[in-house]
Amino acid sequence: MQMINLAPASEDHELARQAERCRELGSPFVGAVLDAADRQLGKAPLTAGMVREWPGDRAAAAVALRLNGALHALARRGAPKSLAALYRGEHTDFDDAVAEAFAAEDRFIANWMRHPTQTNEVARAAATMAALMATPLTRLMPFELLELGASCGLNLNLARYAYELGPLQAGNLGSPVRIAPRWRGWPPPDRPVEIATARGVDLLPLNAANQAHRDRLLSFVWADQPVRLQRLEAALQIAVENPPRIDQGDAPAWLAQRLAEPPVLGRCRAVVHTMVLQYLSPVERQQVSALMASAGARATDETPLIWISFEWTSDRQEVELRLTWWPSGASAVLARCHPYGDWIDWLGPIAT
Q: What is the pLDDT of residues 211-267, one digit of tens each?
A: 999 999 999 999 999 999 999 999 999 999 999 999 999 999 999 999 999 999 999
The sign one gets for the Cα dihedral 179, 180, 181, 185 is positive
**Coil, strand or helix at 90:** coil
- Are 314 and 326 in contact, with CB atoms under 8 Å apart? no
Confidence of residue 9 (pLDDT cuts 50, 70, 90): very low
pLDDT score of 132 more than 70: yes
What gap in Å lies between CA 152 and CA 204, rounded to an integer?
9
For β-strands 319-326 and 305-312, DSSP reports them as: antiparallel
What pLDDT does residue 61 have? 87
Average the pLDDT over 169-182 and give the result. Answer: 97
What gap in Å lies between CA 346 and CA 192, rounded to an integer?
19
What pLDDT does residue 51 have? 94
The per-residue pLDDT for range 40-54, each reduced to its tens digit, is 999 999 999 999 999
| 194 burial level (CB within 10 Å; 0-12, 13-18, 19+) | exposed
pLDDT score of 3 more than 60: no
The sign one gets for the Cα dihedral 218, 219, 222, 223 is positive
What pLDDT does residue 118 have? 82
Domain ranges (residues) in the chain: 14-112, 122-346
What pLDDT does residue 116 have? 85
Average the pLDDT over 329-337 and give the result. Answer: 97
Distances (CA, A) of 264 to 44, 146, 197: 54, 14, 11
Confidence of residue 276 (pLDDT cuts 50, 70, 90): very high
What gap in Å lies between CA 235 and CA 246, rounded to an integer?
16
- Are 203 and 148 in contact, with CB atoms under 8 Å apart? no
Neighbours of 82 (CB within 10 A): 19
What gap in Å lies between CA 104 and CA 336, rounded to an integer?
42
Share of the chain above pLDDT 90, in %: 88
What pLDDT does residue 5 have? 36
- Are 150 and 248 in contact, with CB atoms under 8 Å apart? no
Share of the chain above pLDDT 70, in %: 97
What pLDDT does residue 313 have? 93
Cis peptide leading into residue 263 (ω within 30°): no
What pLDDT does residue 59 have? 86
For β-strands 168-171 and 319-326, DSSP reports them as: unpaired
Confidence of residue 352 (pLDDT cuts 50, 70, 90): low
pLDDT score of 11 more than 50: no
pLDDT score of 335 more than 80: yes
The per-residue pLDDT for range 100-126, each reduced to its tens digit, is 999 999 999 999 999 888 888 999 999
